[in-house]
Structure 1
Amino acid sequence: MTESNQHEDVQEAVRDAVDSGSDIYQRVKDITLKALTARQLDMENITKVADAVAKGIGDAMGNQGEYSREAFAQAVSALDDALAKAAEASKLAIQEAASKVSDYSQYDVNKATDDIQRLEELFLDTVKRIAKDGNQIVTDIVNDFSTHARQSGTAVGEQASIAMDALKDLPKISTGALISSTVAATTALAEIGSGILAGIAESLRSSQTKK
């Protein structure tokens, strides 16, 4: 499946989940985590998946009527929590990479750390775009959520903060410890993160099944 088709499928699946009005949070979270782990966990993939999820939410909002605010809250919370898990996975990938100083440069680690810090703003910007194609009711719902989220914080923002605290004391990697291709190192880091996130997602699914 091409990347474009994958994101179209994500958009459609999210739209259907929100349209159903049933178990919206869990379904959207599962869809998002599955999409995030389908490719390497880098900012390009995360941005595209978040955008596809947001478009799916936006597509469905017009069909929710009086339940639109609750449906939106569940769907967006699912995206927020999925991105928080991505931040956690990225932190664990960085910690693993830092223990292999011969394979990664400080640049690779710093870039990955910077990406974690950007996740909350990515989430808020993505959600805000839902209002652009919606009616006034949707716009009001999105704006109310965005204002509250910026004041009260988000799950991904909280997890990013936890990650930064955990990473601040990592030993610096020697500038001489470079592999031949920075692109290869960054890709490897993203692949580690994807594998870790897949494990987290599977653990969440297992615990959900046992309930």
Structure 2
Amino acid sequence: MSTAKSDKNSNRDNLEGDIKEAVETDNNIRETVRCITLKAFSEGKLDFSEISQIANRVVKGAGLGAITHGRDGQDKLTNAVAGLDDALCSAAEACKLAVEEASSHVNTFSKQDLDRAINDLSELEAMFLDTLKEVAKEANETVSDTLNDLVRHGRVSGTAVGQKTTEIATLLNQQFSERLSDTVTAGVDSAAKVTSNLAYAAAGFLDALGQKLNQKSTSNPAPNKSK
């Protein structure tokens, strides 16, 4: 196993604990969870499977950290989930940038590839809410009730990532749908290669985007909203 892959696996193993500690220490929970999650997203490739696994660990860690706050744990968990929602929005933005770059190569990127990318983006909100629901099944009563309340609210009122992906899908269709070729029918291997390349490119864009957001946050520290 390469050193890079070993480090990545080690970071993933520590992710749940890092999130738990962030919620326990109660120091700007939403922003801290966002930063930790963005770092995890930017390592390797940013595909649907990776995002789903990371989101699951983030929610589990947040639940474990919230327990230590007793009755106040509900608010802490809600802030942590909001941090995950924020990170998913950034991930969606990074995917948009990757698609925009790929779309400039019209000979190797087709409307079918665009449709696949947009479809993956459109699934992010459902994955987010499903993750909350799945973790709720194994959590204690307080955590479970909070997560299920967030799921119900998200399905009625929507989520930040749901709004973001809808905006991005509309924009990408407007920008590229008409000028990309309908005649390019990639085989399974070619389609998988395009998807993989997009995932790696998105992770790179997210890393750069995350650094900019962190610099902005450091220069303009937000008030602690976790209490």
Give the C-alpha shift of residue 106 in structure 1. 3.2
Give CA deviations for 1:7-43 in whole Å, capped at 9, x if unaligned: 2211110011111122111111111000000011111
Unaligned runs of 5+ in 1: none
How many correspondences in the alignment? 211
Aligned with residue 194 of structure 1, among 194, 198, 203 = 203
Give the C-alpha shift of residue 161 in structure 1. 0.7
Q: Comparing 8-17 with 89-98, which one deviates more in the overlay?
A: 89-98
Give the C-alpha shift of residue 201 in structure 1. 0.6
Tell me the secondary structure at the aligned position of residue 181 of structure 1: helix
**Aligned position for 1:91:** 96
Q: Which structure 2 residues correspond to residues 31-46 of structure 1 after superposition, within 5 A?
A: 31-46=36-51
Q: Structure 2 counterpart of 1:172, which letter?
A: L
Q: Which structure 2 residues correspond to residues 119-134 of structure 1 after superposition, within 5 A?
A: 119-134=124-139
Give the C-alpha shift of residue 176 in structure 1. 3.4
CA RMSD of aligned residues (A): 1.8
| TM value normalised by structure 2 | 0.86
**Aligned position for 2:109:** 104
**Aligned position for 1:141:** 146
Q: Comparing 119-128 with 59-68, which one deviates more in the overlay?
A: 59-68
**Matched residues in 1 for 2:133 and 2:186: separation?**
39
Give CA deviations for 1:130-150 in whole Å, capped at 9, x if unaligned: 311222222221122211121
Give the C-alpha shift of residue 3 in structure 1. 5.2
Tell me the secondary structure at the aligned position of residue 101 of structure 1: coil
**Matched residues in 2 for 1:195 and 1:117: separation?**
21
Q: Percent same amino acid at aligned positions?
A: 34
Kept after mapping to 2: 8 A contact 1:98/1:173? no
Give the C-alpha shift of residue 174 in structure 1. 4.3
Q: Does 1:175 align with 2:183?
A: yes
Runs of 4+ aligned structure 1 residues displaced above 6 Å come to: none
Kept after mapping to 2: 8 A contact 1:101/1:177? no
Kept after mapping to 2: 8 A contact 1:103/1:178? no
| TM value normalised by structure 1 | 0.92
Kept after mapping to 2: 8 A contact 1:7/1:48? no
Q: Structure 1 counterpart of 2:184, which letter?
A: G
Kept after mapping to 1: 8 A contact 2:23/2:65? yes
**Aligned position for 1:59:** 64
**Matched residues in 1 for 2:201 and 2:13: separation?**
25
**Matched residues in 1 for 2:217 and 2:7: separation?**
30
Give the C-alpha shift of residue 178 in structure 1. 4.9
Kept after mapping to 2: 8 A contact 1:90/1:193? yes
Give CA deviations for 1:151-209 in whole Å, capped at 9, x if unaligned: 11111001001111101221232433759733222211111111111121111001011
Q: Structure 1 counterpart of 2:118, which letter?
A: T
Tell me the secondary structure at the aligned position of residue 123 of structure 2: helix
Kept after mapping to 2: 8 A contact 1:24/1:71? yes
**Aligned position for 2:215:** 206
Q: Structure 2 counterpart of 1:108, which letter?
A: D
Q: 1:173 to 1:6 in 2, by over 3 A?
A: farther
Give the C-alpha shift of residue 58 in structure 1. 2.1
Q: Structure 1 counterpart of 2:52, which letter?
A: T
